[in-house]
């Protein structure tokens, strides 16, 4: 009987120590065995609230909100530049369940930046992308690619506005050749213009206009001709797919 009482007493003491050791509320820096550090709030022994995590091996740092051990809410993620011994901000925005989710800005490089909506670490929804070569895309995204309606403006002043699919021009769109003063309006498939019309547009203000203007061609119904061309192309595509099967 004395042995049982002692075992029960030790078990009770062990349970109390375990409860006391559980992290809850605001804590000073906690150092982990792998060298990582966390300073901030806890709940039920998990990072919960506001806090800063430093990963030793990768040199990453996250400063923001947490929910049951995962980045959740608003926060900033940065990486360490060893040669300069300073942190470079990579992402600033919303998180959910440990992933970029909601609205935020991601810095791919100094001149390559995306600002817009995210879904589970991927660009999805509306967003604006500044490319390193100077091009700018603004519009819809899905699974990290241009998808839906959007406009891309090129460094030389030309731009395209229309529909996209899996990162390529697909469907109806307009391509403005502002350097030549021409407008192409038509139908695109996987980034290639298949059928459409070409007309002068802002030719008088173009820096490098064509030698001669495009002659006026009078059609009874230009849109009807365009639709027929699109229909004929789609029919050929469907027939080709049937042959492949």
What mean pLDDT comes out for the span 164-191?
92
70 vs 206, residue with greater confidence = 70
Q: What is the pLDDT of residues 42-97, one digit of tens each?
A: 998 899 999 999 999 888 999 999 999 999 999 999 999 888 888 999 999 999 99
Q: Is the pTM of this model over 0.85?
A: no
For 5, the token pair is 């009482």
Helix (H) or strand (E) holding 234: helix 222-244
pLDDT of residue 216: 64
For 80, the token pair is 């360490």
Name which of 26, 100, 102, 24 is nearest 62 in CA terms: 100
Residue 168 has pLDDT above 90, yes or no: yes
Per the CB < 8 A criterion, the answer to whether 104 and 118 are in contact is: yes
DSSP-based helix, strand, coil % in the chain, nearest 5: 20, 55, 30
> What distance, in Å, lies between the first and last C-alpha atoms of the chain?
81
Residue 34 has pLDDT above 80, yes or no: yes
The distance of Cα 214 from the centroid of its chain, to the nearest Å, equals 40
Q: Which residues of 179-190 are buried (b: 16+ CB within 10 A; e: fewer)?
A: ebbbbbbbbbbe
Mean of per-residue pLDDT scores for the chain = 84
Pairing of strands 145-153, 136-142: antiparallel
């Amino acid at each position: 009987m004395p042995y049982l009482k002692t075992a029960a007493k030790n078990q009770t003491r062990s349970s109390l120590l375990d409860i006391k050791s559980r992290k809850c509320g605001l804590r000073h820096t906690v150092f982990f065995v792998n060298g990582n550090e966390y300073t901030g709030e806890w709940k039920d022994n998990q990072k919960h609230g506001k806090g800063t995590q430093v990963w030793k091996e990768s040199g990453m740092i996250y400063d923001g909100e947490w929910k049951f051990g995962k980045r959740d809410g608003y926060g900033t993620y940065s990486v360490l530049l060893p040669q300069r011994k300073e942190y470079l901000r990579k992402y600033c925005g919303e998180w959910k369940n440990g992933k970029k989710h909601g609205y935020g800005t991601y810095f791919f490089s100094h001149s390559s930046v995306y600002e817009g909506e995210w879904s589970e670490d991927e660009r999805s929804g509306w967003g604006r992308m500044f490319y390193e070569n100077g091009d700018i895309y603004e519009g819809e995204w899905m699974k990290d690619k241009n998808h839906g309606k959007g406009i891309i403006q090129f460094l030389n002043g030309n731009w395209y506005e229309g529909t996209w699919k899996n990162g390529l021009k697909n469907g109806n769109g307009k391509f403005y050749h502002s350097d030549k003063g021409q407008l192409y309006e038509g139908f695109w498939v996987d980034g290639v213009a298949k059928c459409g019309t070409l007309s002068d547009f802002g030719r008088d203000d173009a820096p490098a206009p064509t030698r001669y203007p495009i002659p006026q061609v009078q059609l009874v119904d230009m849109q009807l001709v365009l639709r027929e061309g699109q229909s004929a192309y789609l029919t050929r595509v469907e027939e080709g797919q049937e042959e492949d099967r």
